[in-house]
Structure 1
Amino acid sequence: MSRWLKYIACALICSLTLGACSRMGLAYRNLDVIIPWTLSDYLDMNGEQKGWFHERLKEHLSWHCSTQMPGYLDWLDRLQNMVASNQVTDAALQDRATEAKQAIAETAREITPSAVQLLRGLDDKQVAEMNEAFAKDQRKRQEKYLNPSLDQQIKDRGERMEKRLNDWLGPLSQAQRQRVAAWSNALGDQNTEWIANRAHWQKQFSAAVAQRQSPEFPQRIETLLVDRERLWTPAYRQAFAKTEAQARSLFVDLMAESTPEQRQRLLTKIEGVKKDFSDLKCLKAAKQG
């Protein structure tokens, strides 16, 4: 997943599982990526489908902005208060993560009927192209994340995290950098289970789309988009739990080692996210309404 979730989740637990951060203004125009695949990346839609999709997307954005965005602002307030009061604990981070997951699920459930309608309208050529795009995605991730040696994977993961943290906290101290290195080392070959599970999900999605005219199709898609964790491989379920726990532990320790300047930078960054949200025209209109 990308865009708004990754942005605020980086502030929460800086988790590699959730990926890189990006600016809200660009992010919010792409609500379709709330699901674990980006339609424009995997589907070659024709003109009629694109027109229909963008109209539906506008409707979903309007719903999302008026019903969900106020909750995100409250969530950011809670996050900000944690940092300001120096109460960044494992339990508090678990609460924020649970709230974020619930928000994702609610939005995914809202857009599922549109996804079902779009997917049911695909022709066989489009489905074949989608499956080839999945295969290309797998090859690309294999090359980037699995082909390097394990030592290199660990080194690259630590460098990616340090780069993100530099953005949120400013330059890290030697102790903080060592903690990031220890975090990356503790995750070991997590990339293997992550990519295997991604391929597992894509395989199930392809199988569902192959039977897109069946009566069971809407329920299968809802499970794939809303209840993804139910379909995880046992190995990935275990790996993900470890990854989340390690990310929380990392963030707790980094904040314990943080300077007043780093905490202020983080608070300022979170305030910037809140402003990005508050400045959205749709949210202003919802408040006025």
Structure 2
Amino acid sequence: MTLGANQLPDRILRLLPATTLLLLLASCSSVQLAYNHMDRWIRWQLDDYVDLKGTQKQQLAAALDSFHRWHRQTQLPDYANYLEQLADRVQQSQFTSAELQTVEKQVRVFWDTASTQFYDLLLPLAATLDSGQIDELEENLQEKREESLEKWRSPEKIQRRRLKQIRKHSRRWLGKLSGEQEALIAEWVAQAAYNPLLRDQQRQLWQARVIELLRRKPEGYLQQLRDLIVNPQQLWSEEYRRMQDQRHRQIRSLSERILATITPEQRLHLEAALRSHAGDFRSLSHE
């Protein structure tokens, strides 16, 4: 799971964007190992932003335990079932554009359900932050934002990294890529629309609003915080919204074009990968 809603677009895998949020953990070499260490990973992430005190750490641990138990028992079986359905569809036919959009919508439902539960359990912790911790959070948010923007000062390096990541994820799902598929990926990386300055502006606006609510604590501020985290799009400018819409269309187009070129061997590889992850999720749900 990702903690920051504003970080979500950066985590999208390029080959199968429709299943990315469902399979964030599947990018690891061991789904079960990654899932069982999710609580620890989240604590590490939070430590980068704010130093919690003893009782707050206990509250965080209790919230994470509750979420993990709920997610394991109620969500993982649904993920497993859905992956098996996708595997059946891969076996039977190609994915059309309409089918990919349907998959994206279903995965969004999975994501919204899990993230809403996660934030509802974690948000009460925000009410316990003192002024010093809020200052620390603001400073670290700004530092992370500046670090992120700095990475985009070398477009060539970013393109090389993107190309490497997309190839890696593509091979994980499809096996060996054809020359045509390699060319499609390279073309997409070269043409993908993205303006890091626009993203930075939206991130800065979102972070400023969060800090303002934490400091002022107006009536109903926790609900306002929840709305900001669950739906950061409410602060998006029209220009940024158009850019994100264009990116999503480009990502879907790449998926369609690659899936239209898969060989029988790649189809078998993809089907096996989906069923393997379904089995992992089902096993985890029984632990």
Q: TM-score, normalised by structure 2?
A: 0.83
Aligned equivalent of 1:147, options 132, 143, 153: 153
**How many angstroms does 1:122 deviate by?**
0.6
Distance 2:13 2:274 in 1: 11
What's 2:219 paired with? 215
What's 2:121 paired with? 114
Instruction: Give the 3-state SS of the residue equivalent to 2:286 in structure 1.
Output: helix
Cα pair 1:154 1:185 within 8 Å, conserved:
yes
Letter in 1 for 2:277: V
What's 2:188 paired with? 183
Cα pair 2:162 2:189 within 8 Å, conserved:
yes
Letter in 2 for 1:225: I
Instruction: Give the 3-state SS of the residue equivalent to 1:138 in structure 2.
Output: helix
Q: Deviations over 1:70-115 (max 9, x none)?
A: 2212221232223222331211111111112122222222233333
**How many angstroms does 1:260 deviate by?**
1.7
Residues 1:54 and 2:72 aligned together? no
5+ long unaligned stretches in structure 2 = none
Aligned equivalent of 2:257, options 249, 253, 258: 253
Distance 2:141 2:250 in 1: 29
Q: TM-score, normalised by structure 1?
A: 0.83
**How many angstroms does 1:217 deviate by?**
0.9
Instruction: Give the 3-state SS of the residue equivalent to 2:129 in structure 1.
Output: coil
CA RMSD in angstroms, aligned pairs only: 3.1
What's 2:230 paired with? 226
Instruction: Give the 3-state SS of the residue equivalent to 1:240 in structure 2.
Output: helix
**How many angstroms does 1:40 deviate by?**
3.3
What's 1:174 paired with? 179
**How many angstroms does 1:148 deviate by?**
0.5
- Rate the CA distance shift 1:195–1:94 in 2: closer, same or farther, 3 A: farther
- Rate the CA distance shift 1:185–1:159 in 2: closer, same or farther, 3 A: same
What's 2:277 paired with? 273
Residues 1:235 and 2:239 aligned together? yes
- Rate the CA distance shift 1:32–1:127 in 2: closer, same or farther, 3 A: farther
Residues 1:284 and 2:286 aligned together? yes
Distance 1:186 1:28 in 2: 38
Residues 1:74 and 2:43 aligned together? no
- Rate the CA distance shift 1:175–1:192 in 2: closer, same or farther, 3 A: farther
Aligned equivalent of 1:85, options 86, 92, 106: 92
Letter in 1 for 2:178: S
- Rate the CA distance shift 1:92–1:178 in 2: closer, same or farther, 3 A: same
- Rate the CA distance shift 1:80–1:198 in 2: closer, same or farther, 3 A: farther
What's 1:27 paired with? 35
Distance 2:62 2:256 in 1: 43
5+ long unaligned stretches in structure 1 = none
**Aligned pairs, number:** 277
Instruction: Give the 3-state SS of the residue equivalent to 2:48 in structure 1.
Output: helix
Higher relative contact order (CA 8 A, sep 6+): 2
**How many angstroms does 1:196 deviate by?**
3.5
> Matched residues, percent identical?
26
- Please show how residues 5-44 of structure 1 align to structure 2 within 5 Å: 12-13=16-17, 21-22=27-28, 23-25=30-32, 26-27=34-35, 29-30=37-38, 38-44=45-51
- Rate the CA distance shift 1:200–1:160 in 2: closer, same or farther, 3 A: farther
Letter in 1 for 2:80: L
Q: Deviations over 1:104-157 (max 9, x none)?
A: 22222223333321011011111111111111211221122x2114x5433432
